[in-house]
Amino acid sequence: MLVMKINILFGLAVAVFCLMLSSAASAEMANQMISIGGGCFGGMTGAAAEILYHRPFNFLDSDKIYGKMGLAVADSLNRYPTKDWRRFLLLYVDGIMYYSDNAYFGGGLNFPIKVSDDEVGNLGGEVYLGADLPIYHRGKIYAELGYSVARRLNYERYEGVHFMVGWRYELVPAPSPNKAAVSEIPPAKPAVPSPEAAAIEIRSASVEAQREKVMSEIIELKGELEKAENYVSQLDNKIVKAKNGMATKKVLELKTLKLDAIMRARSIKEQIKEKETGL
C-alpha cells in the first residue's frame, strides 16, 4: 500500500512538473535544450536522453535555473552474482542551478517505470555537479559527476557513481546563466536634421506638390480636349444635314463654329504637351 501511495505521488509530481513546463513555454519564458549522454547511473552502465527548460516555473525568475526531465536506461552488468543483474528504465525529474557561466549543480528524483522482471520500481534520487562547454553553433558538450540511487520494488538499492558525458543542443538561445540582467537600453532620441537636409526635404515636398498639381491640370485639359473633339464631330454631322437641306447660310455658320472648335482643340493639345514636357 505504501509503495502504491509513493508511486501515485511521484506520478502526480511529474504531471504537475509537465504542466508548469507547458505554462512556462506558452508564456515564452522557457528556453529548451535537448541532450543525450552515456556513462553510469547508480553505479550501473547507462545512457540517458532528456529535455531542459530554462526558468521552468514562473515564480523562479532566474537566468540560472533549469528544470530537467528525461529517460535513462541502466544495466547492472558489473553486479555479481549474475542473478542480481537487472535492467532499469528510469524516468527522472531534476532541477539544476548554474553557479558560473558553464558550471552547475543539480539533483532530483528518479522512478523506475520498468525493472527487468518487475513491473515498476521505487523512488530513487541523484545529486551531481556538472559543466558544459559551448561548441559549434548552439551545441554543447557536458559532463556530470555525482551519486545516484535506483531501487527495485522490494527496496533493493542499486547505488553508486553517477557519471554522464554527452551532447546538448539549444533549441532557443538563452541568456548567460551567470550574467546579471542587462538594463533596458533607452530608445534613441530622433536625430535633428541639419538646416541643409531640412531645406532639401522642403524642396522635395514642394516639387512633389507641384508635380501633382500639373498632373491634375493635365487630366482636366484632356477632359476639355475630349469635349472639343466631340463637338467637332457633332458639327460635322450638322453640316452634312444642312448641305442636304440646301441651307447654305447655315452651312457657313456651322463651318465657322467647326473651325473655332478645331483651333480650341489644337490649343488644348499644345497645353497638354507643354505640361507633360515640364514633368
Tell me the per-residue pLDDT of 198-239, one tens digit each, with 9 for 90 and over: 778 777 878 788 888 888 888 888 888 888 888 888 888 888
Beta-carbon neighbour count of residue 254 at 10 Å?
Answer: 21
* Structure-model confidence comparison of residues 250 and 55, the more confident one: 250
Instruction: Return the sign of the alpha-carbon dihedral for residues 201, 205, 211, 212.
Output: positive
Residue 28, pLDDT score: 44
Quote the CA–CA distance of 150 and 126 in Å, as a whole number.
9
Spatial distance between the Cα atoms of 261 and 267, rounded to a whole number of angstroms: 10
163 has pLDDT over 60: yes
Say whether pLDDT at 181 is over 50.
no
Place of cell 559527476: 145
Element counts in the chain: helices (H) and strands (E): 3, 8
Cα-Cα-Cα-Cα torsion 104, 147, 164, 100, nearest 10 degrees, comes to 10
Q: Are 34 and 168 in contact (CB under 8 A)?
A: yes
Residue 173's pLDDT band (cuts 50, 70, 90) = low
Contact 87, 115 (CB under 8 A): yes
What pLDDT score does 145 carry?
96
Instruction: In whole angstroms, give the CA distance from residue 243 to residue 231.
Output: 18
| The pLDDT value given to residue 93 | 93
Higher pLDDT, 92 or 8: 92
Mean pLDDT of 174-190: 54
0.75 exceeded by pTM: no
pLDDT greater than 50 at residue 180: no
Rounded to 5 degrees, φ, ψ at 131 are -150, 145
**Mean of the per-residue pLDDT values for the chain?**
78
Burial of 231 (0-12, 13-18, 19+ CB in 10 A): middle
CB 141 within 8 A of CB 34: no
DSSP E strands in the chain: the ranges are: 32-41, 44-54, 65-75, 87-98, 103-115, 122-134, 139-151, 157-170
